[in-house]
Amino acid sequence: MNFFKRAILSITRKKGKSIILLAVIFILGNLISGAISIQQATGNVETTIKEKLGTAATVELDYEAIEKMDESEMMELEIEELDLELIKQIGELSYVKYYDFSTSTYLGSETIKSYQGEGMEEEEVMYEGPSMDFMLKGINHAPIIDLEEEKGKLVDGRVFTPEEVENGAPVAVISKKLAELNNLHVGDNFTLINEVYSFDESNGEDKLVTSRDLVLEVIGLFEPKAVKNDAEESEEGMYDFMDIEYQNTIYVANEVVSSEMRYNMEEYMKVDEEMAAAMGEEEITDYYTPLFVLNKPEDTEAFEEEVQPLLPQYYKVTNASDQYDSIAAPVESMSKLSGYVLLVAVIATILIIGLVVLLFLRDRKRELGIYLSLGERRSRVVGQIVIEVMIVAVIGISLSLFSGNLLAQSVSDTMIDAEAEKQNSEEEMYYSELQTDVTTDDVLESYKVELDPGYVGIFYLVGLLTILVSTIIPLIYIVRLNPKKIMM
């Protein structure tokens, strides 16, 4: 009889043993299926989120390295400013699609109101001292890199021309909400005030020394691409302060910002002799923050390796994708756990199924001896056993494909929620030029355990290969069988 037919008959006639083997494979298959489901889901999340984070990179101080210094090292610490020529040199590298460098300052206004969130326009905050409601953000890349990278979108008017940027023309791009609040339109002018204060030691208050107006023409209106509103937070009076700051951001040429900062510093030194003496003949310089947009995500590592040796001490390259580790901690935790579970499940499957198959073979010792004594080749006997186990395995694996997927969804949802809650309680805020609106919530929304073709293929490959290995090991028992001794 054909050994394949013998395998089918063995499965159907020995239903009890076949059901036991099926149950063992089903249970172990659920562990493998669940682990692979989570692995696939976390891998998809990483790809999706890193695409959202983009390919931007910047050069900034390595605060972690500075914080690790002892007191003596801190006393001798001298931080060199990032040279503008170096920024331009980095910007010309082949990995860079386009780049910008920016300087910024804060100014106030006596004629226009700042945006303070929905429902807050009518409330006035009374205080004394410098008015700094508006962030004047300088740009060198005329199209405005924030808009090209979709942090916001232009909804009316235009962006800068290269000539306006180079000459420091008094033109600006402002947010649509700020324009609506102050009834401003493209072509209108508005006035900011640059106030210079000094500290009056006699009464402990800031004293206005002088001020000057900065008149700007609105040439364009932008709108943040995605503003996240939380109804519960709004009811409690809590607002997204990052959004508020962006709504009050005014894009101008770098030269406009530099001019205002130099004016403020020069006027302040006229009333502060100590600072004037400390500055001496030293020229007031501008500090620029660079932003490089790379051609593709794969360039990130090569860009960092080439740029790092060029940087002054205590500076480092920071990529937008670096933020993935901080916002995706719950998912990364699940990925590591699923990796351990998968490893343990594979080892357990090999050991347990190997032991089950070995016990079944010992019970069938006389049957196998008869096959061999009748002249059946050992390879065909081995093939029969492999077919028996693999047929049952395919059924068990197929059943566990769906139940393991559901198990992975249930378990991972519970564990991710717990990790997310823990992370939120420990989260620390810090500023970076690469701040993004991608949050842990976005990561959790992207996490989906699905039955996609990739998952199905990997699961069948891992599952069946593991069972095949666990079956082959006990088959050594058949090879060593001596039919004469069995039949005596």
Q: Which two tokens stand for residue 288?
A: 């620029």
For residue 263, the 8-state DSSP code is H
Of 30-44, 224-238, 279-293, 336-350, give the lowest mean pLDDT range. 224-238
Q: pLDDT tens, 270-290?
A: 887 777 777 766 667 778 889
Query: How far is Cα 55 from Cα 319, in angstroms, rounded to an integer?
Result: 7
For residue 121, the 8-state DSSP code is T
Say if residues 213 and 150 touch (Cβ distance below 8 Å).
no
Number of structural domains (the chain) is 2
Question: Which residues touch 375 (CB under 8 Å, ≥6 apart)?
Answer: none
Average pLDDT over residues 65-89: 83
Instruction: State whether 278 and 351 are in the same domain.
Output: no
Give the β-pairing of 96-102 and 189-200.
unpaired
Instruction: State whether 163 and 266 are in the same domain.
Output: yes
Residue 418: what pLDDT?
A: 59
Question: Which residues touch 251 (CB under 8 Å, ≥6 apart)?
Answer: 137, 139, 144, 146, 160, 172, 173, 174, 222
Average pLDDT over residues 204-233: 77
Say if residues 59 and 318 touch (Cβ distance below 8 Å).
yes
Instruction: State whether 269 and 171 are in the same domain.
Output: yes
| Last residue of one domain, picked from the residues 261, 286, 311 | 286
Domain range enclosing 152: 104-286
Domain membership flag for residue 87: no
Instruction: List Cα–Cα distances, 467 to 346, 350, 451, in angstroms.
Output: 9, 7, 22
Average pLDDT over residues 478-487: 61
Instruction: State whether 133 and 246 are in the same domain.
Output: yes
Q: Is the confidence at residue 1, as pLDDT, over 60? A: no
Higher pLDDT, 251 or 44: 251
**What is the value of pTM for the model shown?**
0.66
Domain membership flag for residue 429: yes
Category of 117 on φ-ψ map: left (φ > 0), alpha (ψ -120 to 50) or beta: left
- Computed over every residue of the chain, the mean pLDDT equals 79
Residue 129: what pLDDT?
A: 47
Domain membership flag for residue 38: yes
Q: pLDDT tens, 322-379?
A: 766 666 666 777 777 778 888 888 888 888 888 888 887 777 767 777 777 777 777 7
Instruction: State whether 122 and 246 are in the same domain.
Output: yes
Query: How far is Cα 39 from Cα 37, in angstroms, rounded to an integer?
Result: 5
Q: Is the confidence at residue 202, as pLDDT, over 60? A: yes
Instruction: State whether 161 and 246 are in the same domain.
Output: yes
> Token match 């033109």: residue?
171
Please name every residue paired with 318 in a beta bridge, in sequence order, or none if there are none. Answer: 58
Instruction: State whether 28 and 134 are in the same domain.
Output: no
Please name every residue paired with 139 in a beta bridge, in sequence order, or none if there are none. Answer: 253
3-class DSSP state for residue 236? coil
Using a 10 angstrom Cβ sphere, with 0-12 exposed, 13-18 middle and 19 or more buried, the burial of residue 246 is: buried
Say if residues 317 and 295 touch (Cβ distance below 8 Å).
no
For residue 424, the 8-state DSSP code is H
Instruction: State whether 47 and 136 are in the same domain.
Output: no
Q: Which two tokens stand for residue 83?
A: 């040279």
Residue 422: what pLDDT?
A: 52
Q: pLDDT tens, 101-133?
A: 999 999 999 899 999 877 554 444 444 445 688
Domain membership flag for residue 323: no
Query: How far is Cα 173 from Cα 221, in angstroms, rounded to an integer?
Result: 6
Measured distance between the N- and C-terminal CA atoms of the chain, rounded to whole angstroms: 24
H or E segment and range at residue 136: strand 134-139
Domain membership flag for residue 280: yes
Query: How far is Cα 212 from Cα 214, in angstroms, rounded to an integer?
Result: 7
Instruction: State whether 347 and 216 are in the same domain.
Output: no
* Structure confidence at residue 486 as a pLDDT band (50, 70, 90): low
Q: Which two tokens stand for residue 151?
A: 């942090």
The closest alpha carbon to 467, from 367, 385, 379, 402, belongs to 385
3-class DSSP state for residue 379? helix
H or E segment and range at residue 137: strand 134-139
Residue 482: what pLDDT?
A: 63
Give the β-pairing of 249-253 and 189-200.
unpaired
| Helix, strand, coil in percent for the chain, rounding step 5 | 55, 15, 25
- For 120, list phi and psi in degrees, rounded to 5: -110, 0
Residue 259: what pLDDT?
A: 94
Q: Is the confidence at residue 230, as pLDDT, over 50? A: no
Instruction: State whether 410 and 481 are in the same domain.
Output: yes
Instruction: List Cα–Cα distances, 363 to 27, 356, 357, 360, 367, in angstroms.
Output: 24, 11, 10, 5, 9
Query: How far is Cα 312 from Cα 419, in angstroms, rounded to an integer?
Result: 38
Instruction: List Cα–Cα distances, 379 to 96, 211, 478, in angstroms.
Output: 61, 96, 10
Instruction: State whether 39 and 120 are in the same domain.
Output: no
Instruction: State whether 131 and 224 are in the same domain.
Output: yes
| Last residue of one domain, picked from the residues 256, 286, 316 | 286
Domain membership flag for residue 320: no
Domain membership flag for residue 387: yes
DSSP codes of every residue in 124-135: -----S----EE
> Token match 């007031």: residue?
284
Compute the half-sphere exposure of residue 362: CA atoms within 13 Å on the CB side of its CA. Answer: 7
Q: Which two tokens stand for residue 126?
A: 């009374």
Domain membership flag for residue 81: no
